Structure 1
Amino acid sequence: MAHRVRQLGAVIAGTAAAVALAGCGEPPRVVAESVTSQTASHKDKTPGPTAVQREVQELTGFISPSGNVACMLDATWARCDIIDRNWSPPPRPPDCEFDYGQGISLAPGERAQFVCAGDTAFGADQVLPYGESIAADRLRCESAQSGITCLDSESGHGFSISREAYRVF
């Protein structure tokens, strides 16, 4: 029951944030998601996280259970930003005039790259629990205790990001 109350609270908070942003004259960056979930019954006593596959059709934001990583995902790109990290990004490209190295993004068919942007992926409060994943077309992000991994299922390109390390592949 408490889990359902937290989910409802997250949906209400996300909707309120979108309405508030819309009232400021800017389009909301986080859109309520269309979700198809398949979960194991609460009566299932199998230990470990419950696997959930969510397919989304609109721009959807989520955060890691630790709150240290936030991501945005739709069919055109996946982006994850991080607050605290024990690593340094590669050198800033000369043409980057905004913040650099705070996150990594992935577009279908392209290699993942570090973000050069004046905005952030933080803002959503929907948690993607460890062991669960979310997908938009061919892009998929998975949450694990070791961090968030996003992958293009067709090209095999992707990235992993956590406090301890990052990996671009």
Structure 2
Amino acid sequence: MRVLTLPFLAMIASLVPLLTPEAEALPANAPAIAQSSEDSFSSNGFIMPSKNIYCVIYGDRLRCEIVSQLNPMPPQPASCNLDWGNGLSLLKVGKPFVTCAGDTVFSPNYKTLAYGKSWSKGGFICKSRTNGLTCTNPRGNGFFLNREEWKVF
């Protein structure tokens, strides 16, 4: 086993400040350069006033989840060995499909989409109503979702 000498340790200690970046204050009027991924993710989604349905857009996909699960629950295909029946996904082209996923898109930072209001981003449009949520893609395909039923079109 080698024993490090005191001069060697002193040299290493003198290099530590060079390896540790120091934060610099930005001018008060400086624009933000980047946001954390949580902020970016949260700004791309919303939650319904009931807190039962929430959606997010990422890439070319809109994914909406429902806490109470789809009703009626569709049969789980053999090709899905993850969570099934927690929501629907919609691409920019094509019909929606039941999501098979081992994760969630929930964020506590989503803004509430009030009943009677619409949300649009990336070509997707979602309309919040007291009887449920309707979302469409740029081609007019979409879905309706509430705790009693769901439909794709």
Whole-angstrom distance in 1 between the partners of 2:42 and 2:145: 25
1:127-146 to structure 2, matched below 5 A, reads: 127-146=112-131
Question: Residue 133 of structure 1: CA displacement?
Answer: 1.2
Whole-angstrom distance in 2 between the partners of 1:76 and 1:86: 23
Determine whether 1:61 maps to 2:45. Answer: yes
Is the Cα contact below 8 Å between 1:85 and 1:162 reproduced in 2? no
Question: Residue 125 of structure 1: CA displacement?
Answer: 3.4
| 1:118 counterpart (86, 94, 102) | 102
Whole-angstrom distance in 2 between the partners of 1:97 and 1:85: 17
Is the Cα contact below 8 Å between 2:124 and 2:135 reproduced in 1? yes
Whole-angstrom distance in 2 between the partners of 1:144 and 1:67: 13
Question: Residue 30 of structure 1: CA displacement?
Answer: 5.0
Larger radius of gyration: 2
Distance 1:30 1:90, change over 3 A: farther
Q: Unpaired segments of 5 or more residues in structure 2?
A: 1-34
Is the Cα contact below 8 Å between 1:142 and 1:148 reproduced in 2? yes
Higher mean displacement: 65-74 or 77-86: 77-86
TM-score by length of 2: 0.69
Q: Secondary structure at the match of 1:28?
A: helix
Determine whether 1:28 maps to 2:21. Answer: no
Determine whether 1:90 maps to 2:71. Answer: no
Question: Residue 119 of structure 1: CA displacement?
Answer: 1.1
> Could you list the runs of 4 or more consecutive aligned residues of structure 1 that deviate by over 4 angstroms after TM superposition?
none
TM-score by length of 1: 0.63
Amino acid at match of 2:41: V
Distance 1:117 1:29, change over 3 A: farther
| 2:85 counterpart (88, 92, 101) | 101
Question: Residue 74 of structure 1: CA displacement?
Answer: 4.4
Whole-angstrom distance in 1 between the partners of 2:145 and 2:76: 18
What is the aligned partner in structure 1 of residue 145 from structure 2?
161
Once superposed, what is the RMSD of the aligned Cα atoms?
2.1
Distance 1:29 1:163, change over 3 A: farther
Question: Residue 137 of structure 1: CA displacement?
Answer: 2.8
Q: Unpaired segments of 5 or more residues in structure 1?
A: 1-17, 20-26, 34-59
Question: Residue 140 of structure 1: CA displacement?
Answer: 1.0
